[in-house]
């Protein structure tokens, strides 16, 4: 995905305006990343904290890599300012919500979407992050590697492994589904599909 660099060459006069452009351009992306890593409960505050750091360090943000810089800050905040147990708990709740929504979904590819979300839920936290940086958050592999602070080669290796684990989780889910000859799925509070 090609990003536009909102403050580059625009000759914007002051910090305030530069910040506003930066915020309006990227806050939803940072929100999506935070929600994907820690659920909606935490996302709002992570976005605020991330952009407070951005405000204080506006001149340090590289023009060519603003989004990666913001993701990295958000990632550090998620790692250091949020208790990991609470983050995981919030994310588990979020994953359950997504799965519930996918169960209720009757649109195109609904079954596949449900299967892949269930498979994703079984993976480690690191795998979840690596897999979703490129598929959900619109980063190129080079950008995702920058966010994780690793080389592109290392990122490919990790992505490859995570992808393999996702595939086997999908296969296992499919097999289980077939074996159960597609029994109706029951979701608490919703009754049989």
CB nearer to another protein: pick between 64 and 124: 124
CB 93 within 8 A of CB 41: yes
In sequence order, what are the residues at sequence separation of 6 or more whose Cβ sits closer than 8 angstroms to the Cβ of residue 120? Answer: 95, 128, 131, 132, 166, 169
Task: Tell whether residue 103 is a contact of another protein (CB under 8 A).
Answer: no
Among 12, 58, 89, 156, indicate the residue that binds another protein (CB under 8 A): 89
CB nearer to another protein: pick between 8 and 101: 101
Which 154-193 positions form the footprint of another protein (CB under 8 A)? 154, 163, 166-174, 176-178
Q: What's the residue count for the chain?
A: 193
Which 105-164 positions form the footprint of another protein (CB under 8 A)? 109, 112-122, 124-126, 131-132, 134-136, 148-151, 154, 163
CB 1 within 8 A of CB 139: yes
CB nearer to another protein: pick between 142 and 176: 176
**Cα–Cα nearest to 166, from 155, 177, 158, 176:** 158
In sequence order, what are the residues at sequence separation of 6 or more whose Cβ sits closer than 8 angstroms to the Cβ of residue 156? Answer: 141
Which 15-74 positions form the footprint of another protein (CB under 8 A)? 16, 19-20, 23-24, 27-28, 31-32, 35-36, 40-49, 51-53, 55-57, 73
């Amino acid at each position: 995905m090609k990003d536009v660099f909102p403050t580059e060459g625009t000759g914007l006069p002051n910090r305030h305006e530069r910040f506003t452009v930066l915020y309006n351009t990227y806050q939803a992306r940072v929100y999506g990343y935070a929600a994907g890593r820690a659920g909606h409960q935490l996302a709002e505050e992570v976005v605020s904290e991330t952009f407070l750091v951005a405000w204080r360090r506006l001149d340090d943000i590289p023009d060519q890599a603003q989004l990666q810089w913001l993701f990295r800050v958000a990632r550090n905040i998620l790692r250091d300012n949020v208790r990991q147990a609470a983050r995981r708990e919030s994310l588990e709740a979020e994953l359950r919500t997504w799965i519930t929504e996918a169960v209720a979904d009757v649109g195109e590819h609904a079954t596949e979407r449900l299967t892949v979300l269930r498979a994703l839920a079984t993976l480690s936290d690191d795998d979840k992050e690596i897999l979703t940086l490129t598929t959900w958050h619109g980063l190129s592999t080079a950008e995702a590697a920058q966010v994780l602070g690793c080389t592109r080669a290392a990122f490919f290796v990790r992505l490859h492994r995570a992808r393999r684990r996702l595939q086997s989780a999908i296969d296992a889910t499919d097999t289980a589904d077939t074996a159960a000859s597609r029994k109706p799925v029951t979701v608490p509070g919703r009754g049989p599909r």
